[in-house]
Amino acid sequence: MAESNPDEKAALGADPRRGSQNGLAERYCPAPSRSSQCARLLRYLQHKGRADTRDIRSALAIMSPAARVYDLRHRHGHDITSVRDRITGIATYVLMVGGRSNA
């Protein structure tokens, strides 16, 4: 089997410096850290007041919104309430400021 050169590997998404195949998804969409996701979600909630699971996934590229809301509540002390739609099952998260909704 012929050995491929580093330029070909780089074109396919591999990082020749690391000697591994990264793939296109990792190359163009690096895995964001928990802290950066929390920061983006908090800024969004401060600006908009509320967001549902679909908003958070599409606008902020956070695929596990409930986990980040949990972090904001329990690790950072933010008062965020959630309401789940009975029909769709989609959660809406509301940032509370001083006991009142910021929305």
36-91 per-position pLDDT tens digit? 999 999 999 999 999 999 999 999 999 999 999 999 999 999 999 999 999 999 99
Residue numbers of the domain that contains 54: 34-101
Q: Are 14 and 20 in contact (CB under 8 A)?
A: yes
The domain total for the chain is: 1
Residue 78 lies in a domain: yes
Q: List phi, psi (to 5°) of 92.
A: -115, 130
Q: Is residue 83 part of a domain?
A: yes
- pLDDT, one tens digit per residue, over 70-80 is 999 999 999 99
pTM here is: 0.66
Q: Indicate whether 48 belongs to any domain.
A: yes
Q: Which residues of 48-81 are buried (b: 16+ CB within 10 A; e: fewer)?
A: eebbbbebbeeebebeebeebbebbeeeeebebe
Structural tokens at position 90: 């989609």
Residue 74 falls inside a structural domain: yes
Q: Where are the alpha helices (DSSP H) in the chain?
A: 6-11, 24-28, 34-48, 53-60, 65-74
